[in-house]
Amino acid sequence: MDKIAILCSGGDVSGMNSALKRFVEYAYAKNMQPYFVYNGYEGLIDNRIVEAHFADVAGIMTRGGTKIKSARSARFKEPSYRAIAAENLRQKGITKLIVLGGDGSFRGMERFHHESGIAFCGIPSTIDNDINGTDYCLGVDTALNVIKNAIDSIRDTASSFRRAFVIETMGRDCGYLALVSAITSGAEVCLIPEIPIDIHEYKGCFESQIRKGRDYFIVVVSEGLKNAPEIARWFEEELGFESRVSVLGHIQRGGNPSVYDRLMAYKFVTHAIDTLLTGNNNSVVCYTKSHFNFRTIAEVAFNKYVLDEDLLILGREQFAPSHCQM
């Protein structure tokens, strides 16, 4: 019986538990013994590798986060610790490994694969949606719904006062979450690294809107810009609007997984196990144009993710100061 393990690395996302459930069920269906690695790459080094059974995944579909924990491992960057991790897997007879994580996790896994020969398949799992080669990463849909609910609630308060609310989303240096959230929530302004906009260019348009009765503003900014307080001050100093900054923070990573993320978790894991069984020993499952495909780790982890041009065009049209309605 083949032995296969799974671990979570880096930031947690909603949908990881759904992936774990499918992993156990599908591994057994394929006559494989599944193993959980607790605490990510740290668990590989510390030998926290245990057999997984149906009872371990009962009732976890509705839970955010990850039952087997996650971690970022500085030790795994060192060859001596990777050698320990490889030996721990060999002693248990584990020859295949699935990693839920981001490009940093995959870069570490590529080196580990070449050193140890352990077969590997990665599943893109980050709400930042910033992994090259895939249009979608596990956890993104749930994060977008959390942001949507937050912005909708903040709009209720904004419309009850004469205020501007500056809402900061996660995403590191990628503006995907901010842009999609701003478009779908009807925000007045969206500021992301990929679309440079000077907030001062909005002044004339906003002054005209205020004269015509506008009495609140919703602004969505990406955390990568690090300028939410500056934007709030601008509304107060230039437009005389009392302003508030709402940093959504880690609520975006948690919560009950959406139906879409649960379904995608099942599909990602199914494709990962199937490709490992065919002998593809070093790949990442990607999802593009509504189809699954496989790319090398080098394609995914060593190339910068670029936002879809159609989405950027939509954002430029929607939020360009020149398109602001007087």
Write the DSSP string, 239-274.
H--EEEEEE-GGGGG-SSPPHHHHHHHHHHHHHHHH
Query: Is there a single domain that holds both residue 26 and residue 66?
Result: yes
Please, what is the average pLDDT of the chain?
94
| 262 and 239 both lie in a single domain | no
Token couple for 189:
């302004």
Residue 165 has pLDDT above 70, yes or no: yes
pLDDT in tens, 211-269: 999 999 999 999 999 999 999 999 999 999 999 999 999 999 999 999 999 999 999 99
Sheet holding 96-101, edge to edge: 49-51, 32-37, 2-8, 96-101, 119-124, 282-288, 291-295
Return the CATH number at 173.
3.40.50.460
Q: Tell me: the pLDDT tens digits for 171-219? A: 999 999 999 999 999 999 999 999 989 999 999 999 999 999 999 999 9
Structural domain range at position 176: 140-253+309-323
The catalytic site residues sit at 128
d(CA 198, CA 283): 41
pLDDT of residue 326: 65
Q: Looking at the structure, do residues 104 and 182 belong to the same domain, yes or no? A: no
Beta strand pairing call for 217-222 and 189-191:
parallel
CATH number reported for the structural domain that contains residue 277 in this entry: 3.40.50.450
The beta-carbon contacts of 240-245 under 8 Å, at least 24 apart in sequence, are 241/162, 241/163, 241/164, 241/216, 241/217, 242/161, 242/162, 242/163, 242/164, 243/163, 243/164, 243/165, 243/166, 244/163, 244/164, 244/165, 244/166, 245/165, 245/166, 245/167, 245/168
The verdict on residue 301 lying in a domain is no
CB of 265 within 8 A of CB of 19? yes
Give the tens place of pLDDT for each residue, 52-61. 999 999 999 9
In a domain, residue 55? The reply is yes
The one-letter code for the residue type at 37 is V
The answer to whether the CB of 269 falls within 8 A of the CB of 263 is: no
Euclidean distance between the first and final Cα of the chain, in Å? 69
pLDDT at 302 over 90: no
Establish if 105 belongs to a structural domain: yes
Q: Does residue 125 sit in the same domain as residue 198? A: no
Q: Is 268 part of any domain?
A: yes
Residue type, 178: A
